Chain A
């Protein structure tokens, strides 16, 4: 035999490993599904968020959304106004009216950054701008709170007041 049997055995072993890995990659797997929401500043970066805002003046922020559910999802970001200690939890949303709703259909594996412009009319200290992520349940035909939220504490000053 021209080729050594040991060499052939080693080469065959390499081919076996290669084909097993290829097969493993071909078999479809369902990774753990999740949704993500993130709060970005006006420029679309993490950090450098406004801490003091003027009542009635627009505040510009960006909301980052990501869908890894393995399917398309109809998502809604509900912007609410809370305060220190009065924010949502993983199971319950904030019991406050939504200032603004952002609704979007997001494909699986895709993310989106949505610009948000808010106006808070009443001055106050330690106000929490809350961004809750809701998902539409097509089976029940209702919006369901995903348990994901972000919040930003701000001091809202009256117009014309210097800080």
Chain B
């Protein structure tokens, strides 16, 4: 597309260069007008040609946000599905059909991106709490297990009666 644009630019430059006092005849003016029309037509075909995916700013923004969020471990499956559906439309040059999907994905991703710091903080705190609990488990086990074991041992033998063994006494 950029090549086409540059060729249009070159044509326009040539046109401007060719306008000089020496070429003031009617024929030249007509030919210049024709050239201008051709150049404009070429430009219009460039505009109407299918847009590439990367030139769609909303699409690239969505991809960037999805990359950041997924890199932080956030689930973006729904948004990825929307983007994949949008790609199908964009490749078929149906921008109108792709736009609502891109808008929806962008809105969802933006909301998730705004909430990212608080989500990450909560996630880190939760993880820290679990790690702390796991680290404390051996010490707690060492202190409480014998006591609990003794309690259970005694509870299971609560109906036992202690009798004096006369034979042993003798």
Residues of A whose CB lies within 8 Å of any CB of B are: 1-3, 8, 11-12, 15-16, 18-19, 22-23, 26-28, 70-74, 101, 103-108, 136, 138, 141-143
A74 to B59, CA, bound (A): 11
Give which listed residue, A23, A26, A27, A70, contacts B71 with CB less than 8 A.
Answer: A70
A101 to B113, CA, bound (A): 30
* Total interface residues in chain B, CB < 8 Å: 33
Please tell me if the beta carbons of A2 and B54 are within 8 angstroms of each other in the complex: no
* Interface membership of B155, Cβ < 8 A: no
Give which listed residue, A3, A19, A27, A101, contacts B137 with CB less than 8 A.
Answer: A19
Count A-B pairs with CB separation below 8 Å.
Answer: 84
User: For residue A3, which residues in chain B have a CB less than 8 angstroms away from its CB?
Assistant: 145-146, 149-150
Residues of B whose CB lies within 8 Å of any CB of A are: 53-54, 60, 63-64, 66-71, 73, 76-77, 80, 83-84, 87, 91, 127, 130-131, 134-135, 137-138, 141-142, 145-146, 149-150, 153
A26 to B91, CA, bound (A): 42
Please tell me if the beta carbons of B146 and A23 are within 8 angstroms of each other in the complex: no
A103 to B141, CA, bound (A): 55
Known: A2-B150, A104-B84. A141 touches B138 (CB 8 A): no
Give which listed residue, A11, A15, A104, A138, contacts B64 with CB less than 8 A.
Answer: A138
Describe B's contact surface by its main secondary structure: helix
Please tell me if the beta carbons of A103 and B80 are within 8 angstroms of each other in the complex: no
Please tell me if the beta carbons of A16 and B138 are within 8 angstroms of each other in the complex: yes
Give which listed residue, B53, B54, B67, B150, contacts A72 with CB less than 8 A.
Answer: B67
User: For residue B70, which residues in chain A have a CB less than 8 angstroms away from its CB?
Assistant: 70-72, 107-108
CB distance from A18 to the nearest CB of B (A): 8
Known: A107-B76, A107-B80. A23 touches B135 (CB 8 A): yes
CB distance from A145 to the nearest CB of B (A): 15
Q: A8-B146, A103-B53 are in contact. List 19 more A-B contacts (CB 8 A).
A: A3-B149, A8-B145, A11-B141, A18-B137, A19-B138, A22-B134, A23-B134, A23-B135, A26-B130, A71-B67, A71-B71, A72-B66, A72-B67, A73-B67, A74-B53, A104-B87, A105-B63, A136-B60, A142-B54
